[in-house]
Amino acid sequence: MKKIPIGISSCLLGENVRYDGGHRLDAYITGTLKEYFEFHPFCPEMGIGLGAPRPTLHLVKIDDAVHCVGIKKPDCDVTEPLRAYAEQQNYLHANLCGYILKKNSPSCGMERVKVYNNGQPRADGVGIYAEEMMRLNPLLPVEEEGRLGDANLRENFIQRVYVLYRWKAMLAEGLSASGLTKFHARHKLIIMSHDDYRDLGQLLAGLSKDNLAQVAEQYILQLMTTLKKPATRKNHVNVLQHIQGYLKKDLSSDDKAELCEVIEQYRNGYVPLIVPLTLLKHHFRKCPDPYIEESYYLSPYPHELQLTNQL
């Protein structure tokens, strides 16, 4: 599989584009993730001509609207230029399968950015560029580098990246009713680990040649919204037990007991998700099932990422 295109704040790759002329090189991003992702850097503040180093900016509430202005020069308002830059770059954003933003940035912060109102800060804002970029690309998985330190959020982001990548690959081959139905079937167990999959199934139940494009557009938006909610241990247990049912005629009583015990150990937090997944893969290698072989649940992304080791 070729590397997946991902947008990223330039400073996280070590580019000296910060307000102080420095960078915020992230070792996990430039080490582990760079093996699988092709990074496309963006720095909106440099993009609108501010240079580095440059006067610092912050978000300020003015007449019920949030503006990005200079701290020492409040008359320097770059709100509209930052929005315009997001629109100008959108032809590039449209080709991406994910985006990693710099936390706390008045231009790039995804959430909890400080907004000043009468001199008092509240961490409830969104960077101006980031807000416009996300509005224009509602399907795009977006995360901040700081939140990637959380195992659940990291796994959730990377999983969504791979799902969108596979969706775009499917579209590149030509959208068809059979292709869309197969895509859903292969992701059904993943969806179950996040939420109820039945709404998406019902959406596809009304699929026809006449409404294919409309249903596909609604489907992927609903799917990416569903996957944004992190999978839970309880839902994973439900999926694992569901998968276990495909082996009920093939396993010995000892193997069944061992598998039940491992799933229960995962339920109680004694072992990570990788343990029951590995055991299930072992059994399905001996007793293959066409549906499970097609499903992405047991192998949703390269195992070298080791995401399920910490879940």
pLDDT tens for 87-112 read 999 999 999 999 999 999 999 999 99
Per-residue pLDDT, averaged over 17-45, amounts to 95
Look-up of token digits 């006449």: 210
For residue range 160-195, list pLDDT tens digits in order: 999 999 999 999 999 999 999 999 999 999 999 999
Task: Give yes or no for residue 196 having a pLDDT over 90.
Answer: no
Per-residue pLDDT, averaged over 14-27, amounts to 95
Instruction: Name which residue leads in pLDDT, 310 or 273.
Output: 273
For residues 99 and 90, give the distance between their C-alpha atoms in angstroms, rounded to a whole number. 12
For residue range 201-240, list pLDDT tens digits in order: 999 998 999 999 999 999 999 999 999 999 999 999 999 9
Q: What percent of the chain has pLDDT over 90?
A: 95
Global pTM? 0.96
**Amino acid 306: pLDDT:** 85
**Amino acid 1: pLDDT:** 66
For residues 186 and 197, give the distance between their C-alpha atoms in angstroms, rounded to a whole number. 12
Task: Give yes or no for residue 198 having a pLDDT over 80.
Answer: yes
Q: Find all residues with CB under 8 Å of 129, minimum gap 6, and list them.
A: 44, 82, 83, 85, 86, 107, 108
Q: Kindly report the average pLDDT of the chain as a whole number.
A: 96
